[in-house]
Structure 1
Amino acid sequence: MTELLEIEKQPRSELISLVDWVGVTLKTIPIDSVVDDGREVHSRRDIVLDDIYKLLAIPESEFREMPRGLLGYSKQMACGDIRILYAGKADMGYHVQMSGQGCRQYESYWSLGWEAFFERLYAADADFARLDLAIDDIRYNGDEPYFWVSDLDRRNRGGVCRSKWRNSRPMSTVKLSTGESRGHTIYYGSNQSDIMLRIYEKNFEREAAEMELEEDLTAWNRIELQLRNDRAMATVSHILSGIPSGEIIFGLLKNYINYVDRTDDSNKARWPISEFWSEFLGDVEKLRLSSRAPDKTIPAKKNWLDNSVSATQAEVWWALGSPGEDYFVEMMNRGLEKMSEEQWARAEAFRTMYLAEKETAADLKEVRYADYIARQNEHSEELINSLAKEYLDKIKGDASTSPKDLDAF
């Protein structure tokens, strides 16, 4: 398992494309197909909560009912930051909301891939109300990002930004005791429009939330496109048609905003695009949606159990009079019965890899031990030979000492 942990800690300096918000509404779901006058007709029925669990591929047992709803819905079920909202007006159906943190949780614990997830929702005629696509530019060990957010703000104020958006809204946080900047954010477009852009320094946001950052982190810029309604639906359709997310984001950014170099030409439309922006857009175009590697899923769950659940389990176990090991065995048996096919597949895949790594680690340990013993034996032999030579040299020296020399002592 050491190798897995080392992989997770390796610094990244390339751009990463990811899903950072999903909001979909579902009202009906297909159930079968019938033939009517030679035409295939798909029969549908109203969707229910159990259907949502199956679409998400998250077991019902992972959700908890919350005390109140959101967004006009009176009830909600929550699995971490993944929420199912329901019991609204008759025509509201069910709304599934994944915040940015919810998307990371989905990737870590449940997802079989965003494309497969979107395909399920698309087939169920889900209405994508919101989809956020983000790009992370994460840098380490002094490496600089494509741009600094504060520099983009200066360029905006200097009139060298060409955009379909009419205004930008910069925000900054300053530590009053020192005057030190604690993060810049720029908004382009309205939060209620079908497309809005946010560019901000993600590392400061995480620090404000008291989340730990890696020591060698230089910068972490987040570029987020918030897409709503028709824009969100069109984007999902493009993703399902095989178009890489980078091409989609590249096309949207290039169409809506470009940073340019001022010239003597009075027509700003003819000013050339700045080199830093061209390089950034060029690398964005190559991206595909990233997701957490499958081999990180089980360690993440284990870490969650160790840190978030163990105290609760111990509390219940102690309160029940310390019922012994059978309590946990029965708990595991009940859990095995509830596991979904996706959970079995993930567990089996990781188990195979884990056992193979464990066997390899044992073999390496044995080889290293044998090598250690061999080196120790070699060292002992060298030491014995050295001492023997030193002793022989001493004897030879004593034998060559004359009586006259002995008198000197």
Structure 2
Amino acid sequence: MFIGDCETLANGLYLSVDWISFTIKESMSYLDVVSYFGLRMEDFQTGLNGRYGYKSRIQHSIVPIHILYDGNDDMGVHVDISGSAVGYFLNAYKEKKTCEMTPFGELSYSVESFDSTVLTDLLKDIMDKGQLTRLDLAVDDLGCRYYSLDELTDIFNSGLYVSKFKKWKLNIEKCNGETTGHTIYLGSRTSEIMFRIYDKKLEQNSKSDCDTIDNPWVRWEIELHKDRACAVALYLISGNNLSNAVIGILANYLRLIERDNERNSRCSTSDKWNDFICGISKISLYQRSPEKTLEEKKEWLIKQVAPTISAIYRIDGDLSFIYDLIENGSSRISAELRHLIQNALEGVSYDVESCI
């Protein structure tokens, strides 16, 4: 069964899933979560301090997997899987779902469709049982075939780009006079999507426990949270390739250009950027917010406004203020509210006629 967490493009770029975070909302203990996803409790360090509002945490002894628990009743169990742990976690999940089911005693892995991968099965399982909270996608330019960090810094300083992000930020880290980190950020850490482009060679060589890397290495990371992470998960679950997701998002949010027009939006795309995205079309993660219903508006009134109205009634001793509100509001009903009213009245009419 294809794992599905990495892929190499025809242009040499290596794509991978670099982070998965999720919360299981079902009535499962942290022990249940460990077992369900094919992990072993004996591989975890216990008794660690929690984070994100959880009181307790366990950490895998070999790879960066953290499981947080003992929060409020509605917080469930939270799992963070980063870096090399993603492949480890997916293989453990695959082995958990693999069993002897064939007449010849061979191992079998059940799938819902031939387009499924272990990654898409895991994402579907997560979304069925809880909530996906973070998904990071990475593009590794091994050997720096396309853009160095210095070249990208010049491009952004010169404004030779078009982006949906309003700002970019450069961060250079030094230690004892030597550069140990070079990172470009696009977007905000508080938003649901952010790009991070950094010198992976510098980052790895700054770690004392890593072997020294000689070859240039630039990594592009897409950090997705909440609705954006879920949108990508659904895109993959529906049978789309990882390459279409990763490069499609990059192409949608960023375009490097040639200065052949006064307006950036009308400038032609750089030939090198066209080679970089490898002919993959951009995709949009925008999801239109569902239209509010009258029931949701009633719920808002009950939760937010009812206490104030109750206090005014206790002071006035009658409902005149409520009647004034209704009369005053009737002349200011918006087109959206009229649409909701019409839909509600038509629904009532239909129900009555069907009962007759």
Global fold match (TM > 0.5)? yes
Contact 1:145-1:221 at 8 Å conserved across structures:
no
Matched, 1:60 2:41: yes
Q: What letter is aligned with 2:243?
A: G
State the SS of the aligned residue for 1:106: helix
Partner of 2:220: 223
Partner of 1:352: none
Contact 1:15-1:283 at 8 Å conserved across structures:
no
Q: What is the Cα-based RMSD across aligned positions, in Å?
A: 2.4
CA apart distance, 1:272: 0.7
Contact 2:161-2:264 at 8 Å conserved across structures:
no
Partner of 1:78: 59
Work out the CA distance in 1 between the residues paired with 2:258 and 2:128.
Answer: 46
Q: What letter is aligned with 1:130?
A: R
Work out the CA distance in 1 between the residues paired with 2:256 and 2:199.
Answer: 19
Partner of 1:235: 232
Q: CA distance change for structure 1 residues 108 and 207 in 2, over 3 Å: closer, same or farther?
A: farther
Q: CA distance change for structure 1 residues 14 and 121 in 2, over 3 Å: closer, same or farther?
A: same
Which of residues 82, 94, 100 in structure 2 aligns to 1:99?
A: 82
Partner of 1:188: 186
Matched, 1:138 2:142: yes
Contact 1:170-1:185 at 8 Å conserved across structures:
yes
CA apart distance, 1:115: 2.7
CA apart distance, 1:154: 0.6
Work out the CA distance in 1 between the residues paired with 2:215 and 2:91.
Answer: 25
Which of residues 256, 262, 265 in structure 2 aligns to 1:266?
A: 262
Using structure 2 for the length normalisation, give the TM-score.
Answer: 0.64
Please tell me whether Structure 1 or Structure 2 has the larger radius of gyration of its CA atoms.
1
State the SS of the aligned residue for 2:243: helix
Higher helix share: 1
Work out the CA distance in 1 between the residues paired with 2:259 and 2:51.
Answer: 48
Work out the CA distance in 2 between the residues paired with 1:104 and 1:171.
Answer: 29
Partner of 1:120: 125
Contact 1:196-1:226 at 8 Å conserved across structures:
yes
CA apart distance, 1:244: 0.8
State the SS of the aligned residue for 2:31: helix
Partner of 1:199: 197
Work out the CA distance in 1 between the residues paired with 2:57 and 2:263.
Answer: 53
Contact 2:198-2:220 at 8 Å conserved across structures:
yes
Could you tell me which runs of 5 or more consecutive residues in structure 1 were left unpaired when the two chains were aligned.
1-12, 29-45, 286-409
State the SS of the aligned residue for 2:188: coil
Cα deviation 1:118-170 (Å, max 9, x = unaligned): 2322332x21111101111112xxxx421111111111111111111111111
CA apart distance, 1:110: 6.2
Alignment of 1:14-33 (within 5 A): 14-28=12-26
Q: CA distance change for structure 1 residues 98 and 116 in 2, over 3 Å: closer, same or farther?
A: same
Work out the CA distance in 2 between the residues paired with 1:66 and 1:101.
Answer: 24
Matched, 1:161 2:161: yes
Contact 1:27-1:94 at 8 Å conserved across structures:
yes
Q: What letter is aligned with 2:40?
A: P
Partner of 2:171: 171
**Would you say how many aligned residue pairs link Structure 1 and Structure 2?**
248
Identity over the aligned pairs, expressed in percent? Answer: 28
Using structure 1 for the length normalisation, give the TM-score.
Answer: 0.56
Contact 1:55-1:120 at 8 Å conserved across structures:
no
CA apart distance, 1:114: 2.3
Contact 1:24-1:96 at 8 Å conserved across structures:
yes
Contact 1:128-1:229 at 8 Å conserved across structures:
yes
Work out the CA distance in 1 between the residues paired with 2:41 and 2:161.
Answer: 49
CA apart distance, 1:66: 3.1
Cα deviation 1:59-83 (Å, max 9, x = unaligned): 2222221331111100112213211
CA apart distance, 1:90: 1.4
Contact 2:201-2:215 at 8 Å conserved across structures:
no
State the SS of the aligned residue for 2:216: strand
Work out the CA distance in 2 between the residues paired with 1:18 and 1:111.
Answer: 18
Q: What letter is aligned with 1:231?
A: R
Bigger shift: 50-59 or 91-100?
Answer: 50-59
Q: What letter is aligned with 2:65?
A: I
Work out the CA distance in 2 between the residues paired with 1:61 and 1:176.
Answer: 41
Could you tell me which runs of 5 or more consecutive residues in structure 2 were left unpaired when the two chains were aligned.
1-10, 96-117, 282-356
State the SS of the aligned residue for 1:51: helix
